[in-house]
Structure 1
Amino acid sequence: MNACESILGLSPYQGGKPIEELARELCLTKISKLASNENPLGISIKVKKAINDSLSSINRYPDGNCFELKKAIATKHNVTSEMISLGNGSNELLELIARVFVSKQTDEVIFSQYAFVVYPLVTQALGATAVVSPAKNFGHDLDSMLSMITTYTKLIFVANPNNPTGTLLTDKEVYNFLKQVPEGLPVVLDQAYFEYLNIDDSAIQWLSEFSNLIITRTFSKAYGLAGLRVGYSLCSPLVADFINRVREPFNVNFTAQVAAIAALKDDDYLSESIKVNSDGYEQLVECFKSLHLNFIPSHANFIAVEFDDAMDIYNALLKEGVIVRPVEMSGYLRISIGTFEENAHLIAALNKILC
């Protein structure tokens, strides 16, 4: 078969091990999944009601333009609906954006070492050239990324907070970076974990100044809708129009749209999610310090932890019913922050394995 040469070296994206799979393999009944940076609270009561109310209409195709969801997002962020594109999770939007701007082998895409694994995947899938900036303290080195810009550069990805390291660039650092990027060069500011920062939304205000800025966000993390797959991008109406030209019709299903609208209105749930994450972070950090484990201070809902034998620890944790995530950093496991009980399960397992 004559498959595209660019995909021959690709491996499919591997998500965190499903709870059901581990239960089948080891016949375990108590399992804590701390692998995929999901919200451990489950969906909010308001979202559950909205989903239940929507079920009688799922025999119909959804609104392909997502009018009501765009309206809700526009209202929340004080932007126009023409600046919004919707995706089957923000992952799809990252791919759609790359498809808009990248088309040739000589096209270059810049991103950081230890950044989100989807960036190199979409770059290679499109047959383009990845230009990887060495990480600085496990995070982005924006000066290095600026120095790598050439006439062949077609796209830049910046994750903030970064996954899988949890590192954070300041607003000042990102703004100064945007000021120095050539005006016509698109920059994707991937903010999948933004809500956990619980800070003012400065990046949205930059859209009026930088027509090349594309912000991506998701309902999969703090809003608790990972299973429904809803993400969105904010950018200039021109770029949004380009994204919508390559977007598949009905890529966000009806129930997902309804759930996302309800989630945006549930401030109490979002506040609780942020608090549970903050409390869980302190709970896990105390454990890691007591076990003398090195970890990267995180600004998201996960922590990257260093082990002498990371894969052995990963497999040992599976036997204890705890699922964490190996990442593309040698010697590190990424551990999602769960509920108090899930975190306690991990802590007990680590103490059993390491002590």
Structure 2
Amino acid sequence: MNFKEIVNPRLFDIPDYDQIHVTKCWQDPTIRRQMSNESNYAPIAAVQEAIKSVADKANYYAEDPSYALTLRQKLADYAHVKPENVALGNGSIELLDLLFQILMANPGVDEAVLVQPDYSAYVPRLKYFGWKINFAELSAGLDKAADQVMATISDHTKFVLLSRPNNPMGIVMPKEEIKRMLGTGKIIVVDEAYVEMADEGTSVSEWVNEYENLVVMRTFSKGFCLAGIRLGYLLANPELVRYLNRSRHIFNVNIAAMAAGIAAMDHLDECRQVFRKLADTRDWLSAELAKIPGFKPVPSQANFVMVNVEDSGKTATQCVDLLLEKGFFVRSFAKKAGLEPDTHFRISVGLKKDMEELVAYLSEFVKNK
């Protein structure tokens, strides 16, 4: 059988998404996982207990996310919106898929605007659903972001999507630039996956009460230390939330994820201690990396640090390979995300003692040119 004759032809332009690094880390638990912006901290004890408490109830379906008022109310309170503004998903990436799906009316014609650099996983999903993608380069700086985005918008543009803090850079676009984009009347999707590690007041979630064209994405995978649970949520106009819920599978959020989310919301003070610990370690890591000759860490508000090594006498690939040899898996951005060839790599923030070891290896490596 010739499957190319019967499968969706848009799949031919989408490369396989390479996640072999995650498999390698599961196969060798001694590797320090500094590549996927997971948390190296386990979930807080109350969340672990909540997950265990539903193990003997796994024979039953969880509440369907259209209802699940307990969790949606707690998330609404946390984000300063109303429960009807909240949609739940199997990770925020599922909710993005649903959004891409329900907004698509004319495949190959409808346009989405992305900023560059940004999260690489957006592109293949948009391609699969038939979106034409236009990129707004951030080369003129964050304070000019709205100008660059608005210059890229056309009559066919349905939405603008950006991560804030930005992944992979960790920088935060000024709120005023988001407000200017909202003034275009296009849907503006702000992915706040890393907002828990950002400065207080960074989020635009409560603007959902004011702007019907604002969509905010959130996840439990980063600051809440629950990447393996797969729980995300979307904040938007209630009408858009209703359409999104019509398009998803029933029972798309499992019972353990529901329990974990509720427990995390019930123990926010403990969770915030983890957020602060990650942010403090990030700031320490950035300061130490800046002491290495030729290393230029990008100021970050996320749980990772992007490093420019262009002036160090080493390539990003050499640094990544050295760290892997020493038991650390970090991410190379050589020729990725619109960055210069082999000049950038990204370190997911881990335990302080591990970060001290990592910095020592890099310092010695650069010293011995």
TM more than 0.5: yes
| TM-score under structure 1 length normalisation | 0.92
Aligned to 1:41: 41
CA deviation profile, 1:87-140 (whole Å, cap 9, x unmatched): 111111111111111241011110111111122122211122110011236758
Aligned to 2:102: 100
- 1:123–1:71 distance in 2 versus 1, CA, 3 Å: same
CA gap of 1:144–1:334, structure 2 versus 1, over 3 A, is: same
Structure 1 position 295 matched with structure 2 position 297: yes
Alignment-derived partner of residue 206 in structure 1: 207
1:33 to 1:207, Cα distance in 2 relative to 1, 3 A: same
TM-score, normalising length from structure 2? Answer: 0.88
Contact kept in structure 2, 1:276 and 1:339, CA below 8 Å: no
> 2: distance between equivalents of 1:288 and 1:170?
25
Task: State the 1:197 CA deviation.
Answer: 1.7
Aligned to 1:338: 350
> 2: CA distance between counterparts of 1:326 and 1:94?
25
1:36–1:236 distance in 2 versus 1, CA, 3 Å: same
Report SS of the residue matched to 2:114.
strand
- Mapping 1:322-333, distance limit 5 Å: 322-327=328-333, 328=336, 329=339, 330=341, 331-333=343-345
Unaligned runs of 5+ in 1: none
Q: What is the distance in 1 between the residues matched to 2:43 and 2:110?
A: 41
Match of 1:217 in 2: 218
Q: Considering only aligned residues, what root-mean-square deviation do their CA atoms show, in Å?
A: 2.0
Aligned CA distance change for structure 1 residues 274 and 318 (closer, same or farther; 3 Å): same
Q: Structure 2 CA distance, aligned partners of 1:22 and 1:193?
A: 23
Which deviates more from structure 2 when the two are superposed, residues 330-339 or residues 251-260? 330-339
- After TM superposition, the structure 1 = structure 2 runs for residues 179-190 of structure 1, keeping only pairs within 5 Å, are 179=183, 181-182=184-185, 185-190=186-191
Which of 320-329 and 225-234 deviates more? 320-329
* Paired positions, count: 348
The verdict on how the C-alpha distance between 1:16 and 1:299 changes in structure 2, with shifts beyond 3 A counting, is farther
* 1:84 paired residue among 83, 86, 92: 86
Other-structure match for 1:131? 134
> Are 2:87 and 1:75 aligned?
no
Q: How far apart are the structure 1 equivalents of 2:242 and 2:359? A: 48
Matches of 1:134 and 1:88, distance apart in 2: 30
Q: Distance in 2 between matches of 1:153 and 1:29?
A: 45
- Which region of structure 1 is more displaced relative to structure 2, 301-310 or 161-170? 301-310
What does residue 119 of structure 2 align with? 116
Cα displacement (A) at 1:259? 0.3
Give the match's secondary structure for 2:133: strand
Please give the secondary structure, in 2, of the residue aligned with 1:281. helix
Amino acid at match of 2:322: A
- How far off its partner does 1:4 sit? 1.9
> Does 1:257 find its partner at 2:258?
yes
2:318 is matched with 312
Give the conservation status (yes or no) of the 8 Å contact 2:81–2:206.
Answer: no
Q: What do residues 26-49 of structure 1 show as CA deviations (whole Å, max 9, x unaligned)?
A: xx7743211111122211011011
Q: Which residue identity does 1:314 align to in structure 2?
A: V
- CA contact 2:198–2:279 (8 Å) conserved in 1: no
Provide closer, same or farther for how the CA distance between residues 347 and 202 of structure 1 changes in structure 2, counting only shifts above 3 A: closer
Q: Which runs of 5+ in 2 are unaligned?
A: none
Aligned position for 2:10: 6
Structure 1: how far apart are the matches of 2:273 and 2:89? 26
Report the CA distance between 1:23 and its aligned residue. 7.5
